[in-house]
Amino acid sequence: MLRLRARSVHPVTAPPIHDGAVLVDVGGRIAAIGPNSQVPTPPEVEALEFPAAVLVPGLVNCHTHLELTHLAGRNAERDFVQWIRAIRTLKDATPPAEFSRAAEQGVRDCWAAGVTCVADTGSSGSPLEALARLGARGIYYQEVFGPDPAQCAASVAELTAAVERLRPLVSRRARLGVSPHAPYTVSEPLYRAVAEFARGAGLPLAVHLAESREETQLVADGAGPFAEALRARGIRVAARGRSPVEHLVQLGVVQPGTACLCIHCVQVDQRDVELLRDAGAAIAHCPRSNRAHGHGTAPLGAFRRAGVKVGFGTDSVVSTGDVDLWSEATAAGLGGEEALRMLTLEGARALGHDAEIGSLEVGKQADLAVFPSTALSRLLPPSAALLTVVAGRVVHRYIQAP
């Protein structure tokens, strides 16, 4: 058992508790929460006190690429299309063992930043292996690529083999999904096939969608650098006369009844917002990555007013340099309790995890983080958590250098 006391406890679904405490049972769930004087201290409990800190739900990172952790600082290319090509070259040169080390380090970096749940996309499978090996919480979306319609069958076969290889690692805490990557790397037949595969296998979807102007040019007009690159490979490109969001709705990828996490969604209008809402899609909002690549600003306010589920993500460290979710909230203009809610409960809702995590309530999983008391008032550096707990197990403790 574990008992944590802090200057203030922030349940998110209830007002903050001054001099509060949380008791965690042997099953890793919250057994009690309230003022310190009212929370029992069983004789066998490990009791930790943080008199100058805040205790909050563990943060939820709705978009990461943990297998790329080793590439931080390796790609200074500014043009987005060229940046993607450079990333692909760096990934092709990475041995499997390096992906494994990178993914494990990425999980530990998230814990050090108070993140207790991640939604990761990748192609190596290493992030799910790391989640399972470390007892971490998250969902890994296995990516699939194939811009040439002639590649469709081969891409689906490759995806099917990857999913079968990874299924034995799946648990209640480590989940699996699939990710047809983006409109510039996935053909229409492949999008349809992967959506059908996901529905048949009962797997959720994640898609990079409406991220860049170049993507919109490709889908709407059949023009721009992505279109040129595809034509250079002998792949036919047509103007579809619709937005990327409309494109995936019409292809049956984003639709009611299919759990779909739409990553970025910067290049959208009100019609797109309504389509996403009507489809029950969720958004992974990555403001620092969007800014770093010059994509613009996603309409967070419009999403929230429409009732679209939105969580924050840090994207890859190649884009943002770290997994600091507080910086994402700051970049979006949020602070205090509003930022905390977005980084916890709203992120959990975006991933369909809010019945288990995202707030401090009796019976929920004890995913917790302790931060310095300034956490809700100013920007923190990365790796700022004093303590991080996943399902009642301490996975990170801040040890100050002598």
Separation of alpha carbons 370 and 52, rounded Å: 10
- Is the pLDDT reported for residue 71 higher than 80? yes
3-state secondary structure 214-282: HHHHHHHHCCCHHHHHHHHCCCCCCCCCCCHHHHHHHCCCCCCCCCEEEEECCCCCHHHHHHHHHHCCE
Q: What percent of the chain has pLDDT over 90?
A: 92
Q: Mean pLDDT across the stretch 91-110?
A: 96
Residue 304 is classified by DSSP as H
Q: Where are the alpha helices (DSSP H) in 95-151?
A: 96-112, 126-134
- Residue 379 has a pLDDT of 61
Per-residue pLDDT tens over the stretch 197-228: 999 999 999 999 999 999 999 999 999 999 99
- Is the pLDDT reported for residue 75 higher than 80? no
Reported confidence tier of residue 74, pLDDT bands at 50, 70, 90? confident
Residue 146 is classified by DSSP as B
233-255 b/e with 16+ CB inside 10 Å = b? eeeebeebebbbbbbbbebebbb
- Is the pLDDT reported for residue 66 higher than 80? yes
Separation of alpha carbons 86 and 296, rounded Å: 22
Separation of alpha carbons 24 and 39, rounded Å: 11
- Give the residue among 49, 60, 54 at the shortest CA–CA distance from 10: 54
Per-residue pLDDT tens over the stretch 259-305: 999 999 999 999 999 999 999 999 999 999 999 999 999 999 999 99
- Residue 77 has a pLDDT of 75
Q: pTM for the whole thing?
A: 0.97
- Is the pLDDT reported for residue 377 higher than 80? no
- Residue 375 has a pLDDT of 80
- Give the residue among 248, 152, 231, 238 at the shortest CA–CA distance from 197: 152
β-partners of residue 65 are none
Separation of alpha carbons 313 and 292, rounded Å: 14
- Is the pLDDT reported for residue 78 higher than 90? no
Are the C-beta atoms of residues 178 and 145 closer than 8 Å to each other?
no
Are the C-beta atoms of residues 54 and 8 closer than 8 Å to each other?
yes
Q: Which residue has the tokens 């992906």?
A: 99
Per-residue pLDDT tens over the stretch 47-61: 999 999 999 999 999
Separation of alpha carbons 72 and 74, rounded Å: 6
Q: What percent of the chain has pLDDT over 70?
A: 97
- Residue 378 has a pLDDT of 65
Separation of alpha carbons 163 and 22, rounded Å: 38
- Is the pLDDT reported for residue 401 higher than 60? no
β-partners of residue 17 are 9
Phi (first) and psi of residue 45, to 5 degrees: -80, 150
Q: Mean pLDDT across the stretch 337-355?
A: 97
Q: Mean pLDDT across the stretch 170-176?
A: 97
Per-residue pLDDT tens over the stretch 19-38: 999 999 999 999 999 999 99
- CATH, domain range 59-350: 3.20.20.140
Q: How far is CA 91 from the centre of its chain?
A: 20
Identity of the residue numbered 167: R
Q: Which two tokens stand for residue 151?
A: 């590649």
Separation of alpha carbons 85 and 352, rounded Å: 33
Q: Mean pLDDT across the stretch 57-76?
A: 92
Q: Can you give the residue ranges of every domain in the chain?
A: 2-56+360-397, 59-350
- CATH, domain range 2-56+360-397: 2.30.40.10
